[in-house]
Amino acid sequence: MKLFSRLQRFARDDSGVTSIEYALLGVLIAVAIVGAVGATGRQVQALYESISEQVVAALG
């Protein structure tokens, strides 16, 4: 009987739920930031390569 009451109390306990939700939200935001930075980095690299090619072509 003691085990059953402990299991019921554990099932009703929601003391850590909010912190877990915030942790999941933080992970989601971090993944979005990493994706955005990666995409932006590729675009900046392509821009610099284009500028470099144009400078080399202009200098002959």
pLDDT digits (tens, 9 = 90+) for 9-56: 887 887 778 888 999 999 999 999 999 999 899 999 999 999 999 999
Distances in Å between the alpha carbon of 17 and those of 12, 23, 26, 55?
A: 11, 10, 14, 57
Q: Look-up: residue for tokens 């144009």?
A: 54
Biggest alpha carbon distance in the chain? 88
pLDDT of residue 1 exceeding 90: no
Q: How far apart are CA 14 and CA 28, in angstroms?
A: 22
